[in-house]
Amino acid sequence: MKTNLKHFIALFALFLIGSELQAQYGSPYGGRGYGYGSGYGYGYGRQRSGIPQIQDTPKEAEPMTAEQIVDAEMPRFTEVLELNEFESAVLGSILKKYVQKRIEMQILQLEKEQMLAGMERITKEQDEELKAGLPLEKYEGFVELQKNGLQKAEKEKKKEKRKRKRRK
């Protein structure tokens, strides 16, 4: 009886080890693209379902708000124009206000002439408020950024930094 118990324990241990190995390493017949049971419903590989899978259509990206647009660009403006915190806050609040007005103009979908006149009026008001809120050299730098573009100004700023490093 003791030998039966020993055989039973040994058989039970082999059974546990065997099932553990099969769970870790897969089918004993392959199941990895070769031999019997290689992905045709016989092995433990990826099973195919008879139920068709529905593809989710990507949702259209919601348009950014004026605040999101300005917040995304402000670090670049601050770096290029070398604004302090106060100047950065002033510029940010003014830009948010007028970007919101531009968005509202686009939503109205006015005729071309009306749209151009409205945008010119908004730009003029923005320039007046910026001139009043920023130091003259920062305002002129911002106007220059608008004319030349922010990317060009960033490239020039990097070139200046390189020249300064070479001089040192």
Inside any domain, residue 55 = no
- Integer angstrom CA distances of residue 41 from 36, 37, 46, 51: 10, 7, 8, 15
- Which residues, 6 or more positions from 45, have their beta carbon under 8 angstroms from its beta carbon? 26, 27, 31, 32, 37, 38, 39
- Boundaries of domain holding 114: 66-161
Q: What pLDDT sits at residue 100?
A: 93
Question: Which token pair is 120?
Answer: 């010119």
Tally the domains of the chain.
1
93, part of any domain: yes
- Give the global pTM: 0.56
Per-residue tens of pLDDT for the chain, all 168 residues: 566 667 667 666 656 666 665 655 555 555 454 444 444 545 555 566 667 677 777 677 788 888 988 888 888 888 888 889 999 999 999 999 999 999 999 998 889 999 999 999 999 999 999 999 999 998 888 888 888 876 666 676 666 767 666 766
Q: Check residue 37 and give its pLDDT.
A: 47
**CA distances (Å), 62 to each of 57, 58, 59, 65, 96, in order?**
15, 12, 9, 9, 18
The pLDDT score that the predictor gives to residue 47 is 60
d(CA 87, CA 138): 9
Residue 53 lies inside a defined structural domain of this protein: no
